[in-house]
Amino acid sequence: IVHIAAVNKERTIDDYQRIYNKIAEKIREDDEYDGYIGYGPILVRLGWHSSGTYNKENNSGGSYGGTYRFKLENTDPSNNGLQNAAHFLDPIYKEFNWISHGDLYTLGAVCAVQEAQGPKIKWRPGRVDLPESATPENGRLPDAVNGADYVRNFYARLKMNDREAVALTGAHCLGRTHLKNSGFDGPWGAASSSFTNEFFVNLLNEQWKLEKNAAGNKQYDSPKGYMMLETDYALVQDPIYLKIVKEYANNEASFFKDFASSFQKLLENGIDYPKGAPEYVFKTLDDQDM
């Protein structure tokens, strides 16, 4: 399977910045969502889940075909709750219907990270909507009830090494788990709508206790009301992961740098970009004094 980016020569960075700005403004406007966390975290999760189906063995899945829009994928139990992010993007797609779904889902995630004061993420257009037959089967997204070996194997399928796996999991600074979506409950930290290294700081510093939640699933809970999935906690149980967690907890700039490159790689997995294909860095609304 080969996925070649289609570069639309009619479009410039300004066209994509306009879409970025629309998404960013709507994040600001619809701020009451999910107890005033807002739509940022779930937009990040949509970008990640629409990319996280990638399989390096045959280059299938991934963000390219925008197949999240098909029922098989958007009803995958791992995607419970993401409908809210898709509906958020509906009016944006209506207004800018020349963009592909894969480009829109990934642009939404890049916008949400940057507007949450995260790092700048380089982004390249060119994903092409594929037919329903390209939709990957359910079950390719990670299962939280697992340890370090599972995490390492899972990220290897996405061509991610240990540093990339740890950096990517740091996105759990954003948002929270929801009993009704995943069977887990609670946020990873205090600042659920700001992109920071808080996930790593909390992993190291909170008093974690493995407990059964109201849905009967095991999760680590702290006295401050924070939580960790078993796959999160695996990052302090494995000595190689632990070293990287400590680095990111002590050095936010190092986390930001690694997250930016790993997230771009995640969103572009399996895509061949022709020589000279454009690569954009978008301005935040703040950068533009908006």
Catalytic residues: 49, 188
Interactions with ligand DDH, residue window 162-181 (CB under 6 A): 168-169, 171-172, 174-178, 181
CA 174 from chain centre, in angstroms, equals 10
Chain position whose Cβ is nearest to ligand DDH: 175
Please tell me whether residue 229 binds ligand DDH under the rule CB under 6 A. yes
> DSSP characters for 54-80?
-BTTTTBSSSTT-GGGSHHHHTSGGGT
Please tell me whether residue 151 binds ligand DDH under the rule CB under 6 A. yes
Q: How far is the CB of 181 from ligand DDH (least distance, A)?
A: 3
> From the CA atom positions of the chain, what is the Rg in Å?
18
Alpha-carbon separation of residue 286 from 19, 24, 62, 193 (angstroms):
16, 10, 31, 16
Q: How far is the CB of 151 from ligand DDH (least distance, A)?
A: 5
Q: How far is the CB of 14 from ligand DDH (least distance, A)?
A: 27
Q: What is the largest CA-CA distance in the chain?
A: 55
Q: Are 53 and 61 in contact (CB under 8 A)?
A: yes
- Residues 52-71 as x/- pattern, contact with ligand DDH by CB under 6 A: --------------------
Site size toward ligand DDH, by CB under 6 A: 25
**Residue written as token pair 């790993």:** 262
| Number of alpha carbons in the 13 Å side-chain half-sphere of residue 102 | 32
Assign 208 to helix, strand or coil: coil
Burial of 70 (0-12, 13-18, 19+ CB in 10 A): middle
Residue 50 or 135: the one with the smaller Cβ distance to ligand DDH is: 50
- Residues 84-123 as x/- pattern, contact with ligand DDH by CB under 6 A: ----------------------------------------
Residue 159 or 178: the one with the smaller Cβ distance to ligand DDH is: 178
Please tell me whether residue 261 binds ligand DDH under the rule CB under 6 A. no
| Number of alpha carbons in the 13 Å side-chain half-sphere of residue 269 | 27
Q: How far is the CB of 39 from ligand DDH (least distance, A)?
A: 9
Residue 4 or 215: the one with the smaller Cβ distance to ligand DDH is: 215
Interactions with ligand DDH, residue window 24-43 (CB under 6 A): 41-42
Residue 168 or 236: the one with the smaller Cβ distance to ligand DDH is: 168
Assign 143 to helix, strand or coil: coil
Secondary structure letter of residue 284 according to DSSP: P
d(CA 72, CA 274): 31
Residue 147 or 274: the one with the smaller Cβ distance to ligand DDH is: 147
CA 183 from chain centre, in angstroms, equals 19
Interactions with ligand DDH, residue window 236-255 (CB under 6 A): none
Residue 229 or 249: the one with the smaller Cβ distance to ligand DDH is: 229
Interactions with ligand DDH, residue window 185-224 (CB under 6 A): none
* Residue in 212, 221, 78, 213 with CA at minimum distance from that of residue 154: 78
228: tokens are 């960790």
Interface with ligand DDH (CB under 6 A) = 41-42, 44-45, 48, 81, 142, 144, 151, 154, 168-169, 171-172, 174-178, 181-182, 184, 229, 231, 263
